[in-house]
Amino acid sequence: MEILYNSTRAKGKAVTASEAILKGLSEEGGLFVPERIPVLDKTLKEFSQMTYQQTAYEVMKLYFTDFSRQELEECISKAYDEKFDTQEIVPIKEAAGAFYLELFHGATIAFKDMALSVLPHLLIASAKKNQVKNEIVILAATSGDTGKAALAGFSDVEGTRIIVFYPKSGVSPIQEKQMVTQKGKNTYVVGIHGNFDDAQRGVKEIFGDRELAEYMQGKGFQFSSANSINIGRLVPQIVYYVYAYGRLLKEGRIQEGEKINVTVPTGNFGNILAAFYAKEMGLPIGKLICASNENKVLFDFFRSGTYDRNREFVLTSSPSMDILVSSNLERLIYRIGGNDPDQNLAFMSALGQGGSYQVTGDMMEKLGDFYGNYASQEETAETIRKVYEDTGYVLDPHTAVAACVYEKYKRETGDHKATVIASTASPYKFTRSVMDAIGGQYPGMDDFGLADELSGLSHTAVPKAVEEIRTAPVLHKRICGKDAMKQTVMDILGI
């Protein structure tokens, strides 16, 4: 059965999957959501025998119903190929009483590679399907990982340009070096004087500028998004959890039908929302454990029902989670509010104008699947150190936030179900934070020297993604104010 997509903020004509992927955002700024959540049509035992690519097809076909089997399989095979450093694509490592789902074996050593490897192919297929002649301009705001993964995915893809904005002082040195050394004649990287929320707000404002959209149309351009607000980014993330369950079942770690818990280090809410969708599709998931760093807006929301971004923005060792406006939460709010776009629009307008909103009591009751908590900077470092000393396994700071929160959850609830922790980045992406946490004195050593030290400690090879940028020249030097993003886009496009 065909699944169409509605906006979270307006009643109107539903669009096909390919149209939703192309648009990124609806005209009034809403996010596209499926009109219903499909049910998995393969057994758990069947999933246990599938490769990652096969699992991806079986999940994505249920959502992207206007794509042919050939189109989807082609997108998937181009995405999940030899650029991943393991044939499994997503290995699972058991350590410290949990199963770590390693989502960082792609070209940029972070989980964003997983969905951003397939999005360019979905987008190009969608453009052909809808007879789009314009050049597609991908706009993205990044807190560190999306940017590089999107740049790598779209580099030299015909018919596209990609412009990535990032907070100049809000990413790790290796994250920044990965972006500013990106090759590709269609790639543009811009540091802004501001934080991630400023970058994300600026991108959303550009998308919502109808006058600009009409002007762009006249010049042969149209915008689309590579952020997790694009449904073409979100759906591929559901695959992680279906695949993880299948692997655990195949290896005899769980019994068929047994519930597992899922713990996700969370910033923009896309990764944990994908786990929620997987549960709604019939995957046996118990609790969805939402882990925050000191920017604990989601922890406070799950405890109180009030989402309030009016607080100090904290720069932490887990920068991809330094976010106060979790865009994908809007999709969950829409669903627990009974798919009511008017109510949802009121909440989002309140967030935009006053910085907060309060959900209803009925909606709070529907959040029972979720548990929220957070880890301080000290707790994050202590978790990295303890897991390393106890097991030899090295966590990056984002995954350490999740591991710390999972321990808090177990102590609080006594629930010891088999638990998958989304391991969202390689420790090599955050060498200084990791090495400081493990302990040792490295005065004056740069992040690449620290990578060599980490390699010795962890008995793992320095990833190709780090080696490649060690001596790569800086190709992108643009910087702008947070209020100059629209003008910067126009300057880049020469319009």
Question: Looking at the annotation, which residues are catalytic?
Answer: 112
Those residues whose C-beta lies under 8 Å from the C-beta of residue 135, and which sit 6 or more positions away, are: 159, 160, 161, 220, 221, 222
